[in-house]
Amino acid sequence: MPIGKGKAAKSSSGASMSAYDVEVESRLKKLESTVNDVVAVLSALKAQVTELESHEHAESSAVAQVTNDSTGDHEKLLAVEASLNKVRGVLGV
C-alpha cells in the first residue's frame, strides 16, 4: 500500500504547519488587523479631541464669559483624552 503525500500547510519560511499552527496563525492575523483598526480609530479620536480643544480655546479668547456648561465640556474632553492615552499606552502606540 503506497503512502500518500500529506497536504500540510506551509509557513512563510516553508516549514510544515499543523492544523493547530494554521488556526493560531489565522487568529493572530485577525488580532493584528483588529489592533490596527483600533489604532486608526484612536488616532481619529485624538485628532477630533485636538480639534475640539483648539475650537474651545479660540472661542474662549473671543468671548470673555465662560459658562459652567463649557467648563464641563472641557473636563469631559480632558477625560476622553486621558482615556485615549491610556489605551494607546496599553497598545504600545
Q: Confirm if 25 and 19 have CB atoms less than 8 A apart.
A: no
pLDDT of residue 78: 84
Q: 39-48: per-residue pLDDT in tens?
A: 898 988 888 8
- Which are the contacts of 46, defined by CB distance < 8 A and separation ≥ 6? 81, 84
Domain boundaries, the chain: 16-91
pTM value?
0.46
